[in-house]
């Protein structure tokens, strides 16, 4: 499946989300390797050749992370996401994956119910924050510049909690954002 087709489906599925998301080609191209997209375990639902629902897991060792799942508005409440979720979870189990992690907004009751129905359990709350458009200026307030940084091999010893998958040191390295 071409990334453009997937990106258009993701943008359609998240256009009316609590935090609307629009992915451009560069962002999607960065996001998938950073999060370890596992194409063999990913599943898509198609209608007339168009992607109408998707489950895209990432994989690192025996841990999986649900990079994204969604259904386009005209196809919601028809069981597509549940069927895709069952297929993805079955594929991950068969390949020896031990955990599947996801993140969902507290106010997204339908997604939370879906994940619980698939056997997932809520483990912790994660706070989210929004920054102004960083692309509009070359630096951050105070003159700070975003650059790649070498992460010490023992950085994990400093964590109180394991970061979410996309913020883990390995994910940052995979995307070329850390040495």
| d(C-alpha 27, C-alpha 160), whole Å | 29
| Span between the terminal Cα atoms of the chain, in Å | 31
Burial class (CB in 10 A: 0-12, 13-18, 19+), 150: exposed
Confidence of residue 117 (pLDDT cuts 50, 70, 90): very high
Q: pLDDT tens across 3-48, in order?
A: 888 899 999 998 888 777 888 888 888 888 888 888 889 999 999 9
pLDDT tens by residue, 149-160: 555 556 667 667
Tell whether the model's pLDDT for residue 144 goes beyond 90: no
Q: For the chain, give every domain's residue range.
A: 3-127
Express as a percent the part of the chain with pLDDT over 70. 70
Pick the CATH number of 3-127 from 3.40.50.1370, 3.40.50.720, 3.40.50.620, 3.40.630.30: 3.40.630.30
Query: Is residue 143's pLDDT more than 60?
Result: no
Q: Which residues contact 173 (CB under 8 A, 6 or more apart)?
A: 151, 179
Answer yes or no: is pLDDT of 116 > 90. Answer: yes
Burial environment of residue 30 by CB neighbours within 10 A (0 to 12, 13 to 18, 19 or more): middle
Across the chain, mean pLDDT equals 80
């Amino acid at each position: 499946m071409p990334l453009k087709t997937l990106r258009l489906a993701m943008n359609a599925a998240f256009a009316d989300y609590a935090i609307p998301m629009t992915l451009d080609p560069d962002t999607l191209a960065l996001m998938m390797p950073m999060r370890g997209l596992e194409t063999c375990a990913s599943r898509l639902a198609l209608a007339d050749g168009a992607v109408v629902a998707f489950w895209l897991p990432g994989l690192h060792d025996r841990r999986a992370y649900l990079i994204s799942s969604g259904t386009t508005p005209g196809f919601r409440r028809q069981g597509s996401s549940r069927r895709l979720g069952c297929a993805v979870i079955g594929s991950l189990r068969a390949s020896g994956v031990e955990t599947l992690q996801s993140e969902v907004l507290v106010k997204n009751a339908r997604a939370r119910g879906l994940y619980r129905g698939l056997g997932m359990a809520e483990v912790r709350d994660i706070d989210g924050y929004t920054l102004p458009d960083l692309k509009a200026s070359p630096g951050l307030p105070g003159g700070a510049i975003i650059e790649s940084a070498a992460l010490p091999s023992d950085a994990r010893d400093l964590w109180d909690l394991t970061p979410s998958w996309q913020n883990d040191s390995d994910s940052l390295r995979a995307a070329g954002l850390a040495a």
